[in-house]
Structure 1
Amino acid sequence: MARQRPGDGPATPATVALDRAGIAYTRHPYDHDPSSPSYGLEAAAALGVDPAHVFKTLLVDTGRGLAVGVVPVDGQLDLKALASALGSKTVTMADPAAAERTTGYVVGGISPVGQKRALPTVLDETAYALEVVYVSGGRRGFDIGLSPADLAAVTRAVRAPIGRRVS
């Protein structure tokens, strides 16, 4: 996967962080529909990829601060599994305003990469079976594709089974 030129999509804190780290990635801007019920499924359709390859970034409150769970958009975050992976007794979904303040991104465009403050991050183990995963590039209507190993490296993510399939 080759690094893209700056004109191939917006520069965001995520792309800046990846460029600084020397990580290869692809940029995938698309026309975002504000009325879409699911940003992640919208991204998968716009990119023409299986939703299991597109991952959403969800913030949780551990009681000691915020943390990040990254799971496929066609599934759900298992809060108990994420709490266990983080060494917490329980976690709850973070307040959206707190998530935006802490990450520097807007809800629907929160990237696991390039956040204002590095947060504990857990990447669902299903990502590791894929050659490329797609995550928000830091704006609604903009995803980035990169290897799961590179995503884990740049976010210092731990690997754990934190997602569950939706039937």
Structure 2
Amino acid sequence: MTPAIDIAIKANVPHQVHEYKHDPNAASYGTEAAEAIGIDPARVFKTLLVELNGDNKRLAVGVVPVSGQLDLKAIASALKVKKATMAQPKDAERATGYVVGGISPLGQKKRLPLVLDDSASLHETIYMSAGKRGLEIEMSAADLLTLTQGISAAIGRE
């Protein structure tokens, strides 16, 4: 059980947990998850942390499909800041309580502003890390936004 799964259970949100054997040599955690579970990579979302305006104490979360990339200008705009840059892995791990490759948008140590790519609304459910490598949680994008108090915006790019 992880904090991400605990939050979904406590909130009584419909979800499903998918476990697979993680390969430490996998080039991409998200692509590995999509292949292992046997689903379209457009439905598997990665959780990325960004620094806002160059301040590593001011972080936010971007959740985008593993098949694409995070548009830093778009997330900065969605969060109404001048600039967003990728957070250092150690800062992301410290802020979330999760390890890189297993960072979930749910159950983080501190609630950070979250932006979910609007492509998530194209799918009945989406998959994201459940808090450790080899573990995914599936739920609706609307439930994810409710649980995280996040917003949806066009922040992904191919």
Which TM-score band applies after superposition, normalised by the shorter structure?
over 0.9
Structure 2 match to 1:118:
111
Structure 2 match to 1:45:
35
C-alpha distance in 2 between matches for 1:122 and 1:158 = 5
Runs of 4 or more consecutive aligned structure 1 residues displaced over 3 Å after TM superposition: none
Is 2:7 the counterpart of 1:14?
A: no
Give, in angstroms, the shift of residue 112 of structure 1. Answer: 0.1
Is 2:138 the counterpart of 1:132?
A: no
| Letter aligned with residue 22 of structure 1 | N
| Letter aligned with residue 76 of structure 2 | A
C-alpha distance in 1 between matches for 2:90 and 2:7 = 23
Give, in angstroms, the shift of residue 67 of structure 1. Answer: 0.1
Q: Unmatched 5+ residue regions in structure 2?
A: none
Give, in angstroms, the shift of residue 22 of structure 1. Answer: 1.2
CA offset digits 1:11-51 (Å, max 9, x no partner): 00001111111111000010000000000000000010000
Structure 2 match to 1:7:
none
Q: In the alignment, which of 34, 49, 54 is matched to residue 44 of structure 2?
A: 54
TM-score (norm 1): 0.92
Is 2:150 the counterpart of 1:146?
A: no
TM-score (norm 2): 0.97
C-alpha distance in 2 between matches for 1:15 and 1:114 = 8
Structure 1 match to 2:155:
162
C-alpha distance in 1 between matches for 2:91 and 2:49 = 9
C-alpha distance in 2 between matches for 1:18 and 1:106 = 20
Structure 2 match to 1:88:
81
Q: Unmatched 5+ residue regions in structure 1?
A: 1-10
| Letter aligned with residue 48 of structure 1 | G
User: % of aligned pairs identical?
Assistant: 57
| Letter aligned with residue 30 of structure 1 | Y
Which one has the bigger strand percentage? 2
Superposition CA RMSD, Å: 0.7
Q: In the alignment, which of 22, 30, 50 is matched to residue 20 of structure 2?
A: 30
Q: Secondary structure at the match of 2:17?
A: strand
Is 2:70 the counterpart of 1:74?
A: no
